[in-house]
Amino acid sequence: MTHTTLVTGTRAADREAAIAAALVPGQSTAVILEGLADGNSPLVYDESDGAAWRPDVHRIAPGCLCCAGNLVLRVTLNRLLRRPPAQLFISLADATHVDRLRAMLTAAPYDALLRLGPDLAA
């Protein structure tokens, strides 16, 4: 089962910094980020920084992940879970419906694939 953490916070930069701080180097990790890329993200791989390992980062266009972005989130999750990472972070631009998203991720088929941990507030 993939340990999954929902990450909330008002600013994308803060959420991405919180994820970067929680990463376990060398552990297979995937990150789903809602929103546009920030060129200064600590999750972006830069060959010049000498880091040999980075998480598998996927970006989804902004929009509520349990409402408007539900299909895109499901497709992204299904692709990721073909070769499940040990850890998964899902960053939410708006935490209004975090309970509905949590309910979706604890229902079939994800209940057999994901183990939701406590949310990470950025």
CATH number of 2-37+65-121: 3.40.1010
Confidence at residue 32, expressed as pLDDT on a 0 to 100 scale: 94
pTM of the model: 0.89
Give residue-wise pLDDT tens across range 43-78: 765 555 555 567 898 888 877 666 666 888 999 999
Kindly report the three-state secondary structure assignment for every residue of the chain.
CEEEEEEECCCHHHHHHHHHHHCCCCCCEEEEEECCCCCCCCCCCCHHHCCCCCCEEEEECCCCCCCCCHHHHHHHHHHHCCCCCCEEEEECCCCCCHHHHHHHHCCCCHHHCEEECCCEEC
Percent with pLDDT over 90 in the chain? 49
Confidence at residue 66, expressed as pLDDT on a 0 to 100 scale: 67
